[in-house]
């Protein structure tokens, strides 16, 4: 019986915004992405734009790109691994940054491990870690919470709970928000956090408009809220 070698799943980061790939991605990552003909992407259109910018060694029309996003059902995941079971290497890429981190690709990586498929994470930008690095807050003990509740009362409750947990464990709390709600998030943090709690906003990371600001709640109350409109941002607090 013919024993077909399983392909390898490469987790390939992409830029966080409209910057050349060689500014944020090592040459080894670019070369690997250029060499692949099968991809699983959160968004096929942005994946093609990324491959075109490299450019890929294979004409784009000959590259297979399957989508994996919030609309992908769990029952569809095994089909995405078909090329790997047939021996082809596959690249997993996110809409921005590192795949499988705050990203639906994590479920596919878990299934790959269960299926005996080798997984290779590659080096690239992570907005979460870049924000933590630049915040000046604790990098020894931290937690990422994804999106916080949108409801005002529930959001206030969650902020207070995260602040209390931070104070007890000396833990940095990290979360994100939909870009058009950035201002509301910062206003909620300023309104609900204690005066000595540090609040960091890391915006447009790796872009030429990058800005990372860490202030106490009392200091934030004294200054104008920066323009965060539709600018990808990461929020961090430490009590």
CA distances from 3 to 6, 85, 86, 87, 234 (A): 9, 11, 10, 10, 47
Residue 238, CA atoms < 13 Å, CB-side half-sphere: 18
From start to end of 50-207, where are the E strands?
Answer: 64-67, 90-93, 119-121, 142-147, 172-176, 198-203
User: Based on C-alpha coordinates, what's the Rg of the chain?
Assistant: 20
Burial of 18 (0-12, 13-18, 19+ CB in 10 A): exposed
CB 126 within 8 A of CB 97: yes
Tens of pLDDT, residues 155-198: 999 999 999 999 999 999 999 999 999 999 999 999 999 999 99
Q: Given this model, what pLDDT does residue 192 score?
A: 97
Q: Given this model, what pLDDT does residue 2 score?
A: 58
50 vs 62: CA distance, rounded Å: 15
Nearest C-alpha neighbor of 50 from the set 83, 97, 85: 97
Say whether domain 127-238 belongs to CATH 3.30.460.80.
no
Instruction: Map tokens 């106490």 to a residue.
Output: 216
174 vs 70: CA distance, rounded Å: 22
Of the candidate CATH numbers 3.90.550.10, 3.40.1010.10, 3.60.70.12, 3.30.565.10, the domain formed by 9-121 belongs to 3.40.1010.10
- 44's enclosing H/E stretch is helix 44-53
Give the contacts of 72 (CB within 8 A, at least 6 positions apart).
104
- Look at the chain and count its residues: 239
Question: Starting at the edge strand that comes first in sequence, how are the strands of the sheet with 142-147 ordered?
Answer: 142-147, 172-176, 233-238, 198-203, 211-216
Which stretches of the chain score pLDDT less than 50? Answer: 1
Q: Given this model, what pLDDT does residue 4 score?
A: 77
> What pTM, to 2 d.p., does this model score?
0.91
Q: What angle do CA 73, 42, 82 make, to 5 degrees?
A: 60
Q: Given this model, what pLDDT does residue 151 score?
A: 87
For the chain, give every domain's residue range: 9-121, 127-238
Q: Given this model, what pLDDT does residue 15 score?
A: 96
């Amino acid at each position: 019986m013919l024993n077909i070698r399983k392909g390898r799943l490469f987790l390939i980061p992409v830029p966080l915004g409209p910057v050349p790939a060689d500014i944020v991605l090592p040459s080894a990552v670019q070369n690997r992405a250029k060499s692949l003909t099968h991809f699983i992407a959160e968004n096929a259109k942005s994946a093609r734009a990324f491959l075109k910018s490299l450019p890929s060694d294979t004409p784009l029309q000959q590259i297979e790109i399957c989508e994996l996003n919030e609309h992908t059902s769990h029952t569809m995941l095994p089909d995405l691994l078909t090329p790997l079971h047939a021996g082809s290497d596959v690249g997993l890429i996110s809409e921005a940054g590192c795949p499988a981190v705050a990203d639906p690709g994590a479920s596919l990586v878990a299934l790959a491990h269960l299926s005996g498929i080798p997984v290779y994470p590659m080096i690239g930008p992570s907005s979460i870690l870049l924000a933590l690095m630049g915040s000046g807050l604790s990098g020894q003990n931290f937690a990422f919470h994804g999106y916080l509740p949108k409801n005002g009362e529930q959001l206030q409750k969650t902020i207070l709970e995260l602040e209390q947990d931070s104070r007890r464990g000396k833990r940095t709390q990290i979360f994100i928000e939909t870009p058009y709600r950035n201002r509301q998030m910062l206003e909620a943090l300023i309104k609900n956090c204690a005066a000595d709690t540090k609040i960091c906003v890391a915006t447009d990371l790796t872009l030429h408009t990058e800005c990372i600001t860490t202030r106490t709640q009392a200091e934030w109350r004294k200054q104008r809220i920066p323009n965060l409109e539709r600018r990808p941002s990461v929020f961090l607090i430490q009590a």
